[in-house]
Chain A
Amino acid sequence: MSMTQTATAYVRLVNRRIGWLMAMAGLLFIAIVADILVGPAFLNVLDVLVALFAPDLSTDPTTKVIVHSIRLPMTLMAIIVGASLGVAGVQMQTILGNPLASPYTLGFSAAAGFGAAVTILFGWQLPLVPQLTVPVAAFLAAAAACAIVYGVARLRGVTSEIMILAGIAALFLFQSLQSLVQYLAAPEVLQEIVFWLFGSMLKANWFTVWVSGSILIACVAFLVGDVWKLTALRLGDERAQSLGVDVRRLRKKTFIIVSLLTAGAVAFVGTIGFVGLVAPHVARMLVGEDQRILIPASGIMGAIIMVGASLASKLLSPGAVVPVGIVTALIGVPFLFALILGGKKRHW
């Protein structure tokens, strides 16, 4: 059967978007290799590639150890954190119908920061696994913020306006609490808190990769079944509902997924801003609103920004490694401006 012109044109459009997705994946790959190459010890490209893809053939044990035990977990963590924040951001913008929404908007990150800060202040330790105390506290605080926002929203119908209002209130609440903890802390404790609040990949290891990576994969798996419903939400609540979407249920489910993704991303490495806001916009400009392509695109874009920021943080001050949380905006803003100024279409 020959297709109508309209149908052919649409298939071409989808293929072009998949092409963008491939190009982004290629760029991510280059960034990953570069990120592993750069660091205090000088490694050459060939040795790194061999250590990565054919470790059995690797002749240089030092390179192998540096790549596998130090740099690879940091780079993988950057990918996972960036992808989690990218996916969380795009869904936050979708369910709240607001281009300014990000995992930051509803106070999840601020709450995670507070949870970490208060734990460091009082020197709390979990039995058996003391090294997990801070991540667990950060995760629980983010979950508490989620429960507060959702609880308030439930009382007045789960609309995007109410959720944004409740979320911004939660954001200010946890920021104030975080400041209070910092004010009360002794100077050396304060330094430790501040170091945690600047997100840094130096806290990454294979365990954090495993935990955060599993959360990311599980959350994305839950989103896959709803790709078209989430796309339909961009027509407005009433229209989505008339097309058969249970808008409240979808918003609730996605909201929980977003809070999990955010908490999973920031609990180990500390608060990282901007990726969750900018990655979805860049992805949307390149591939449109079709969530089948937008979800992976936003995740890959988040990973590119995060790995790029990690690379930049090492290049800025060789040997010292500036916390990556400080440079994400430095990398992301020029990228976003270039796309806004270069594009002709309206994207929101």
Chain B
Amino acid sequence: MLEISDLSVHYDAVTVLDKLAFSLQPGTFTALVGPNGTGKSSLLKAIAGLVKATGNVRLNGSGSLVADDRLETIAYMPQDVGVSSSLTVLEVILLGRLRSLGMRIPDKMHDDAGKALARFSLEALQARTLAEISGGQRQMVYLAQSLFRDPSVLLLDEPTAALDIRHQLVVLDQVARHCKANSTIGFSAMHDLSLAARFSDRMIFLSEGEIVADGPPVDVLDSRLLRDTYGVEAEIVRSSNGTLHITPIKAIGPPRM
């Protein structure tokens, strides 16, 4: 279990996150949603130890994790699709296990890297360089890299932002499955509420640096929450197979929270 307590982030005088506390269970995939600029990326980076933050992050009852422990156990995937470079796709995957790479790479690791690519049907791209593939393909390569790391905690920042509708489904399905199969704690910032509701076990709504709603999608999603946090009128429909469909209709003034 990942326990977060008293977590605050300040950029100069601005408070971005204010004393957040929640915990995440192994084998679950949690969506972090909320309007632009409410601190979703800051929260993920603070957990990963990549920005200055106060408060505690504990894993499985450990003491508060120091930066070095976090790099070992937590994989954070940034939102941007990165700089263009002539690294090949397979090299990018291998770099996921940077800390165990030596002058010689064992065959087993080559093999695992190949399998990580296969999960997203990226085998054909393995010898291409990052400069030669599209932004969406790069995003999937980075995702394959994150899964190849096989971390205890997987933090994703908008993992489907650059993807077409088919690959959005493929990617989230793979991630949710990976978390269940490997008892990984999955936590992902997302903008698409329908996708979040469909693939996540739990949704955390962040607004102005505070948690305003938290629970299984069917329990927390209602039109009033969307009006208050996003300032939109939205229709929420439950389909015959139980999934929720959220259709934003129009913007109705500023959010109330």
Contacts and interface: CB of A to CB of B under 8 A. Distances in A.
B221 to A, nearest CB: 30
B95 interface: yes
Given A11-B110, A228-B101, A244 B86 contact: no
Contact of A7 (B77, B111, B129): B111
A19 B188 CA distance: 43
Contacts of A1: 107-108, 111
Contact of A236 (B82, B108, B123): B82
B76 A6 contact: no
A234 B88 CA distance: 11
A9 B126 contact: yes
A290 B108 CA distance: 19
A78 to B, nearest CB: 28
Contacts of A229: 98
Contacts of A348: 84-86, 131
Nearest to B123: A6
Contacts of A9: 90, 126-127
Interface string A225-269: 001110110111011011111000000000000000000000000
Contact of A232 (B95, B115, B118, B129): B95
A234 B94 CA distance: 14
A13 B111 contact: no
Given A6-B113, A242-B50, A242-B78, A234 B85 contact: yes
Contacts of B86: 234, 284, 288-289, 345-348
Interface string B66-91: 00000110011110101111111011
A7 B83 contact: no
Most buried by A among B75, B110, B123: B110
Contacts of A4: 110-111, 114-115, 118
A347 B85 CA distance: 7
Interface residues of A, number: 36
B9 interface: no
Q: Which size class do B's interface residues fall under? A: 35 or more
B110 A346 contact: no
B48 interface: yes
Interface string B98-129: 11010100011011011101100001001101
Contacts, number: 114
Contacts of A232: 95, 98
A241 B129 contact: no
A4 to B, nearest CB: 4
Contact of B118 (A6, A97, A235, A244): A6
A30 to B, nearest CB: 28
A288 B88 contact: yes
Contact of A235 (B87, B99, B123): B87
A243 B98 contact: yes
A7 B95 contact: no
A117 to B, nearest CB: 39
Given A244-B72, A245-B98, A346-B131, A5 B91 contact: no
A244 B87 contact: no
Contact of A243 (B80, B95, B114, B131): B95
A238 B78 contact: yes
Given A6-B117, A10-B126, A288 B48 contact: no
A3 interface: yes
Contacts of A242: 48, 50, 75-78
Given A10-B88, A238-B50, 13 more contacts: A1-B108, A3-B111, A4-B114, A4-B115, A10-B90, A224-B103, A232-B95, A236-B82, A242-B76, A243-B95, A288-B129, A346-B84, A346-B129
Interface of B: 48, 50, 71-72, 75-78, 80, 82-88, 90-92, 95-96, 98-99, 101, 103, 107-108, 110-111, 113-115, 117-118, 123, 126-127, 129, 131-132, 142
29 contacts: A1-B111, A3-B111, A4-B115, A6-B110, A6-B113, A6-B114, A10-B88, A11-B110, A97-B83, A234-B85, A235-B85, A236-B83, A238-B80, A239-B142, A242-B50, A242-B78, A243-B95, A244-B99, A284-B86, A288-B86, A289-B87, A289-B91, A292-B103, A345-B86, A345-B129, A346-B86, A346-B132, A347-B86, A348-B131
